[in-house]
Amino acid sequence: MAGIVKQDLIDFENEIAELFRAGKIRAPVHLRSGCEEQLIDIFKDIQAEDWVYGYWAMHIHCLLKGVPREQLKQAILEGHSISLCFPEQRIYCSGIVGSLAGVAMGTAWGLKRQKKSGNVYLFTGDMGAECGVFHEAVKYAHNFDLPIKFIVEDNGVSVMTDTRKTWGSDKPWFKDTVYEKNILYYKYQNSWPHSGLGQRIAF
């Protein structure tokens, strides 16, 4: 989205944090930081006609896909942060890990088969990228050369569970495989807790 800079994204998350702290949002919010520059760079390639799928921490992605700031804020105030959806901007999210990998791949399959324009982008965390259905979606997309890019945003943990430690591996499964070219991978350090602000909120 042209015109959005790193500070805009930081300011938005800070504003949502204050609304949450004030008890104005009666639903989970998953704030993110430390990934602004990477996402600004990634979204330079994502066009209005493209489809974006992701999970529960997608405020920044929505802004960069072109969702108007106030519209996004209103959706969060109404309790939709965990599964934001803006069909006009072609962005769909889910609060269930792994649940959209095949959906995104299926969209790409349908676009290619019908000779429709547009690309698909699936954003997932490091734990989601280890799920079986993610592996299957990447494999199918790779083998059938589908118009989809998988973006793995690695902050090292799933909630507070260490992804690498629990899988017993020091690197993602796709590293040094033929599937790596289908995946855009970056690491970041999130300064927010997984969910909320890490403190009790009085409603």
Nearer to another protein, 99 or 177 (CB): 99
Nearer to another protein, 140 or 167 (CB): 140
Backbone angles phi, psi at 178, to 5 degrees: -65, -20
Token code pair at residue 179 = 């599937």
- The distance of closest approach from Cβ of residue 143 to another protein in the complex, given in angstroms and rounded to an integer, is 10
Q: Are 16 and 43 in contact (CB under 8 A)?
A: no
Give the x-and-dash track for 140-159 against another protein (CB under 8 A).
x-------------------
Q: Are 190 and 32 in contact (CB under 8 A)?
A: yes
Distance CA 88, CA 90 (A): 5
Count of helices and strands (H, E) across the chain: 7, 8
Considering only 137, 138, 152, 183, the residue that binds another protein (CB under 8 A) is 137
Residue pointed to by tokens 């800070």:
14
Which residues pair with residue 47 across a beta bridge? none
Distance CA 107, CA 26 (A): 32
Interacting residues with another protein between 73 and 132 (CB under 8 A): 80, 83, 85, 87, 92, 94-96, 99-111, 114, 116, 132
Nearer to another protein, 90 or 194 (CB): 90
Contact stretch for another protein (CB under 8 A) within 134-142, 154-162, 177-185, 186-194: 134-142
Nearer to another protein, 182 or 190 (CB): 182
Count, residues near another protein per rule CB under 8 A = 29
Quick check: helix, strand or coil at residue 152?
strand
Q: Are 56 and 125 in contact (CB under 8 A)?
A: no
Give the x-and-dash track for 40-69 against another protein (CB under 8 A).
-----------x------------------
DSSP type of residue 131? S
- The distance of closest approach from Cβ of residue 138 to another protein in the complex, given in angstroms and rounded to an integer, is 11
Residue ranges that bind another protein, judged by CB under 8 A: 51, 80, 83, 85, 87, 92, 94-96, 99-111, 114, 116, 132-133, 136-137, 140
